[in-house]
Structures are given as structure tokens and as C-alpha cells.
Structure 1
Amino acid sequence: MILIGLPKGRIYKEIRQLLENSGIHLKEDKRKLIFGSSEKNIQFSILRGWDIPKFVSYGAVDIGIVGKDVLLETEEENFFEVLDLEIGKCRLSLAAKEKKVSELAGSTIASKFPKETNNFLSENFIDAEIIELKGSIEIAPILGISDFIVDLVNTGNTLKENGLKELKVIKEISTRLIVNKSKFRTKNKEIKKFIQRIKSD
């Protein structure tokens, strides 16, 4: 038996479609935290995306499906990133209301992604203050608490609607499949079979 953690939110429908295309049909039950599928040896649990690396690292679930944006920020290391599912594609980008990239030095940047934002600044030898926020990032420059934002961008419509411009793509993002390191050894046959089915789609 393998247990797979799926993320709530925007990419869930794409993941479900990918699984169905692979012949794996979920038997969802809103009353249950863990539910089965058309494959008797595969179970699923829907989790908060940001928590999936921790659940996988601790071995609570064998496999996790999660966005690369989450993996860039996690401190967990007890898993292998084994497959890019090439769904849920978007980009982590720098944006601002009126500022230019050349004005980054000494500025303030609001983001849900402080680790990757700091990496971007370090790689470009830029000193700036990072303000970590959990909610809507687009509001930060509008209310004047930051000069720039670093956030996920899909179509760019939300930025435009709020008078913001995408200035630079920092990282291309897609959905990844991760596996607990010890479970990859102890459940190698079942896990590899599942991965092969997903890859064959």
C-alpha cells in the first residue's frame, strides 16, 4: 500500500485529471481524511500544499505532489524530487507598481517566498529588505509597505488589474512528485510502478 499526498487549491483539478488519464480514479469522500482509488493498493490524502514536504519527510505519506515554489522554500530534506509532472505551470516573478529593476538596491520587497527572493538578491549582489507576507501580495505596494513584490504569476491579469507590472522572471514553476527517501527503498516496487504509470500518460 502506498499513500500519496495531494495539494488543495489551484492545481488539484489538473492532478486529478493526470491521475485519471493514467487509469487511477479517486474515490473521494469528504468525510474521510484518507480515501481510496480504483487501485486497491493506492490511497490518497488531500493536504495543504505547504505541509506536503513535511508529511513526506516524516514518512506520514510515501509520495507527495506539490509545486516547485513550495519546494524552493522548504527546509525539509528527507525526500527525493523524482519527476516534473509539467502541470500547474506558472512563474515566480518580480513585479512593481512604478519601480524599475535598476531601483532594487535599498528597496523593500514583499513576498511569500523569502528564501528564493533572498537567493535572487544574493545572486545579483543586491541588498534589499524582504517583507514576508502570507496573504495577498499584490496589495503591499498599493498600500505602500513595499516597493516590489515577488509572487507567482500565471496569466499576469491580477497584476495588471492592480496596476502592477511584471519586471523579471526569477524561476519557472511546475508541479513535482517527491518521495520519502526510506520509503523509496522499502516500497520501491510499488512506488516505481506508480511513477511509471504517471510518466506513461
Structure 2
Amino acid sequence: MTLDKFRSVADRALGPFVGAARTVGLSPNGVSVIAFLLAVAAGIVYGVAAADPFRYLVGAVLVFLNGWLDLVDGALAREMNVASSGGDLLDHVLDRYADIVIIVGLAAGIGRWALGIAAVTGVLMTSYLGTQAQAVGLDRVYGGLLGRADRLALVGITTGVAAFVTLPLGPFSLVGWLLVVFAVVGHLTAAQRFYYSMQALN
């Protein structure tokens, strides 16, 4: 269920945004930083959403903007022919911090810290296994049940709905169930990537 395989499709829609970034003089690294700041803003909004569920809708918009700019920075680097290992490193580091701050914000907003810890470790292990494959000589692994594009889409959609659905669904709220999915499916995705990498190395 990964959306990462549709990156080439998304790239074709990025032209106007890449052009706009060039017009205002943004570098790919600058776009990456802006995307990260949007994620931080989303995490803060989610952290205080209990006081006003409408804030979940604001957070959803910020998350979608973060995801879109995360595509723009790479496309801009290719367009300007300035793609580099340093830019790739910066992008991945900021993406991981963005993942952390968004999930911590979601957990803080509903006071479910244990779920937040389980979710964030699942997400980080998924990302780690994707890049560790590259470190041992394989291609970077994007596959599995839940990639970053999938996570951002789920966060945006779920929190957008949570702005209007405030009643608990069994033991958890809608956002609580989202953290459960990240905790369970995140670790399963990491296991999938580990299995794929071990098979490729043998």
C-alpha cells in the first residue's frame, strides 16, 4: 500500500511549484527547511487540538503542505542540477525530525504517550531499514506496507476527519487509532524491509 511508487506521477505535477520556487530564489535546501517548519507547526497544532478539534483541520493542511514540499525540494534540485549527497542527507534528517514532531504532537494532543512511543519507534525503524539497505550496498528501499507518503496521507486524512468526529471509537479516539496503526504497521513495514534486504544480500 505504498504511495512512494507514484513519485514519478507526482513529479509531473510539480512543474509550476518548482518554477515558483526558482522565481522567488529558493534553493532545494531552503524548501526542505520550510517543509520541516510546516511539520513543526503541525505538531504544535496537534498538541493543543484537544482544546479545539477544528485545529486538527489546520494541522491536516500543514501536513499536506509538508508532504508536497518534500517532493518539491527533490524536483527543484534535479531541475537546477544541484542534487548532492549533502542535500539528500539534510532532507532525510529533516524528514525524520518532522515525523517525530508530528507524532509527538498527535500523542500529546490526546495524552497517549505510550502509543506515541510505540508509533514513533515504528516510523523510525521503517525509515532506518529503508536507508540501511542502501548502506550495505543495496538500493534504498521504499516498499512495504506503510511508507512516508502513506503516513503523511493517513495523518492528513485522519486528522481532517477528526476535526468533525470527536467521539471515541471504542478504547481510542480516531487519532488514537491512527497511532495504533503507525505502531503496528510501522514495525511490520520495518520487518518487511529487513526481510527484503536479507533476501537480496543472500
TM range (shorter): under 0.3
Structure number with bigger Rg: 1
More helix by share: 2
More strand by share: 1
TM-score after normalising by structure 1: 0.25
